[in-house]
Structure 1
Amino acid sequence: MTNMTRVAGSRDDFQLVHHLTLTGSQFEIGRALTEEARRLGWSPMPVDPIVGRARRTWFERHWPQHHARMDGAAAALGLDPDQDELALDGLSYIPEGSGCSAMWIPPSAAADGHGRIGRNYDFFPTTAGEIMGGAPGPDELPMASRPYVITTVPDEGLSATVITMNDLDGCMDGINSAGLAVMLLIADFETAAPPESVAPQVGLASVQLPRFLVDTCENADQAKQALLGAKHYDYGTPLHYLVADAHGQAFVWERGRDGREHIVEFGDGPLCVTNHLLHRNPDPMHLPADSPASFGSFGRLRTLYERSKGTTMSGQDLRDSLRAVAQAEDPDVPFRTLWSSVFDTADRTLSARFYLGEGRRYSEELVFAAR
């Protein structure tokens, strides 16, 4: 069953946000997601048949939920699910990439004993044409102006609620019915570069990785094993991921400039993350000064850490901290905070405020359940 409702904004606001709820088998969920993606202009991308076959085999072995949804995509497109020439996933409708700030408050540091993650999703408020240095195309909308909240309730397995800016079968933020929450952030502005190729590869693309975890893992230990055992790739923009569970465990996963994988943990205290590699700067008390290339990443982390260290924080304290590091409405600053979200891992909920326009206009905070 498919149900879609408008939950925030209008065509006169910067963002118009829809909540898409899908129930049924993973096959049926995949078919419905593909039908919505086609309505938004998506079409499958050609892929080297050898790579296409290897991708399907990898998903079947390691991410069967996604593999079943790809079979549903094939049904929506009238294609043989075993064909190898087209990628039946990557349901992208706008480009990807972002800044961001996030903070995990473990149950031991929370006023009510609920572990929470708060995050600001910072992104360009302009069109793809403008980002590339040109003029917007006719009727071209800003890249992040049509986000989706997607709740999936499969017949078997974990339910989840996610927020996505650009990819209906991936996400930027997500939480599942076991209380596992995941979010992605840019990890290293200095090494970000245009991709040499956007062709699908074997394994997990950047925005698929959070969806993979909320589909397959119930706690942080399982997520660590899943990440260390998975193949994954990015498109020129290094990302890292904040993962937390309902048992009070959290970590940041990131890949270093040398290609090695790193799991960063801060014990039982708050864990703050912005847009630099944490394993290279593990001490929040001794961070470099920001440069034009760092976009305030070190200063934002320093602010979050100073507000959270040695104190008990309420949900409102967390929200106030996010506001303290939100992007300024400065014409010289390329980002705006396009949504702020709070995950309650005890209640299995995702709450979000969406950006409606200049003057710090946001929607009311909306609450979505993952179960």
Structure 2
Amino acid sequence: MADSRGRSGSRETAPRTAKKSTRSTIQDVAERAGVTKSTVSKYLNAGSGGYYVSAQTRERIEAAIESLRFEPSLIAQGLTHNRTMTIGLIAPDIRNPFYPDLVAGVQDVLEDAGYTLLLGSSNSDPEREMAIARSMIRRQVDGVILGSARMQAEDIESLMESGMRFVLASRDLPHLVTDSVTVDNRAGAELAVDHLVELGHRRIAHVAGPQDVVPFRNRLWGYRHALIRHGIDPVDDLVVIAASSAPEAGAAAARELLDREARPTAIFMGNDNMALGAMDAARQRGLRIPEDVSIVGFDNIALTANSFISLTTVDSRAAELGAEAASLLLGRLAASDDPPYDDVRTVVERPILRVRGTTSPPP
């Protein structure tokens, strides 16, 4: 049927308006639970502020929250305690498999405490590390965890003048200015050398990481000390300082050692990342591991336990270091300790030797 203007008839409908979804508020929860708004606020902040809410009241509030599908605002909670509920973590190179384990340990502790993690990767550049740290301070994070930081003590001290709380994870400094958590790198290196000597090796080389990083310096010290303890004179020609801690740097250093006429029967690598490169370099030269050359790494990254790699390594317990660093930082926040601290805390974890398939008696 056509209307008077010759158009086909059709039923007109009013334009539909989108239904607005309303987010539940603390006031809604309070009314549903039959308590005051301040009581709900105390319940929500009980974990960080130490407020006490009776068990009966807590049950009513929790039932109201569930029925209303209420999601508390972390920003509002943070403002209550003058915090953003955010922690920064700066890693030298997130591509290095050591750091995801460290980050996982940090995140497990922070999530349980209601914090969000903000991650930055400096590519092992001290200037970039400083820039990231300053950016985190401007973003008003509550604290920063420095993972194997390249910054020196004076750099960290200058950042702490802002009032920001820092913790060093997997890094120590000759002059400690803030809390730190690290593995005993000297003891770990000695474990590696002890293992090789017990297998019968005497010509043991070491590929050390960059010596501006204290843990690599300590691993070199532990290597030399263990040799002396076993009555073996350290030979400078058996030590190569790698250009970086990457696999390709480890491969280049290992080639330098393996191409010598009197090559070592075993190589202790400064970390697992470099050890993977050394294994590749040895196999490219037709050498069997461990029959022709034994290789030991340091860190126990997840990949080393793979049956095709099966690297003997020193476990630096990265996840535990991360968890301990996060706990130290949360402790400072809970106590409202302002830097610089009169009681700088240092936690040193004991390393563990993981013996796998890349070590055996010398040929």
Query: With structure 1 as the length reference, what TM-score do the two structures score?
Result: 0.23
Q: Is the radius of gyration larger for structure 1 or structure 2?
A: 2
- Of structures 1 and 2, the one with the larger relative CO (CA 8 A, separation 6+) is 1
Give TM-score, length-normalised by structure 2: 0.24
Bigger fraction of residues in helix: 2
Pick the structure with more strand per residue: 1
